[in-house]
Amino acid sequence: MTQKLKGIIPPLLTPLTDDFNLDVLALHRLIEHLVQGGVHGVFILGTTGEATGLKYDVRQEIIKETCSAAKDRIPVMVGITDTSVGESLKLANFAKEHGAKAVVAAPPYYFNLGQQELSEYYEDLATCLPLPLYLYNMPGLTKVHIDANTAIKLSKNPNIIGLKDSSANTVYFQSLIHGIQREDFGLFVGPEEITAETVLMGGDGGVNGGANLFPRLYVELYQASLSRDFPRMVQLQKQVMEVARMLYNIGKYGSSYLKGLKGAASLLGLCNPYLAPPFKHFKEAEMETISKNLDTIKINMEKIGLSGNTEHYV
């Protein structure tokens, strides 16, 4: 990790078989798709990867297979978020062993922690880890927010090298950009809708779910934002917004993001639509909507010089 990581780091979907084991072939295909799509790294076992819903042996298999598939072409970051620090460390050691470059940890998500407790938790964790750590702020799911002051304090720990923020709150993100005094500290956002604007303002990139489907779109958006190519950025941003609107809001509940993303991935031939419990994949009605929407998306992507197909990658 001698050089700061930047760019588009898709939070990898976890391809599953219908008994919730890893679909190894699909995982390799998906990694190939992303590498060909130009992504700058891959983040496994995150929220989009449904990590918390998987058995631990499946989590280990994902680490092993992803590192093997990535073959040093792109760095692999491994989610080790857990309520048990012992299980986090086990995964981290396994990740180190198989060649991952960094680990990522959201706050332990059962108990409510005070900021002081959270800070001590991360300091202790960073001390024990065999790999550098990215903080992961995901308050909507963990309940625990990594306050700006806490993050700024933690950024002084050399083993902590970045933060991924999925709060969607860019006042918070601005506070980090301006409050953290370390050039080599990476600041990423989760929601793809705001990758462009945060990169314009000094952010380092996006950990964007949609990049599983259309990596080139997000990579080009990142590049256009970085080079302040506004005409191109506007085209691409519009397309990213369409993906979010047309794929992530089918059906009810917060799970529509995951179900829509995986449903679309299955229609694109990337993997099965199966989700790990507690969720179930979309039924026919929703899949039909997604299919129709994917057609629209593909047509619009071609209009801006991008392919919505995946065949040429895989």
Whether 4 is catalytic is: no
| Per-position x/- string for 281-310, each x denoting binding to its own copies as judged by CB under 8 A, each - no binding | ------------------------------
DSSP secondary structure string for all residues of 152-167: HHHTTSTTEEEEEE-S
With binding defined as CB under 8 A, does residue 187 bind its own copies?
A: no
The Cα–Cα gap between 260 and 246 comes to: 9
Enumerate the β-bridge partners of residue 79. Answer: 104
Helix axes 85-97, 115-128, angle to 10 degrees: 30
- Residue 225, burial from CB neighbour count under 10 angstroms (0-12, 13-18, 19+): buried
- Whether 48 has a binding-site annotation, put simply, is yes
With binding defined as CB under 8 A, does residue 237 bind its own copies?
A: yes
The Cα–Cα gap between 235 and 238 comes to: 5
Total residues contacting its own copies by CB under 8 A comes to: 65
Q: Is 188 helix (H, G, I), strand (E, B) or coil?
A: strand
Token pair in block for residue 31: 């990694």
CB 42 within 8 A of CB 74: yes
- Which of these is catalytic: 122, 134, 136, 248? 136
Token pair in block for residue 236: 């691409």
With binding defined as CB under 8 A, does residue 228 bind its own copies?
A: yes
Residue 48 C-alpha from the chain's centroid: 6
- Whether 35 has a binding-site annotation, put simply, is no
**Binds its own copies by CB under 8 A, chosen from 18, 110, 292, 299:** 110
| Per-position x/- string for 132-161, each x denoting binding to its own copies as judged by CB under 8 A, each - no binding | --------xxxx------------------
Q: Is 75 helix (H, G, I), strand (E, B) or coil?
A: coil
With binding defined as CB under 8 A, does residue 268 bind its own copies?
A: no
> Is the CB of 52 or the CB of 60 nearer to its own copies?
52
| Per-position x/- string for 162-181, each x denoting binding to its own copies as judged by CB under 8 A, each - no binding | ------xxxxx-xx--xx--
- Which of these is catalytic: 164, 172, 218, 262? 164
Token pair in block for residue 163: 């933060």
Q: Which residues bind its own copies (CB under 8 A)?
A: 20, 47, 52-56, 58, 83-87, 90, 107-114, 116-118, 120-121, 124, 140-143, 168-172, 174-175, 178-179, 191, 193-194, 196-198, 200-201, 228, 230, 237-238, 241-242, 245, 252-255, 276-280
Question: Binding-site residues for pyruvate, please?
Answer: 48, 207
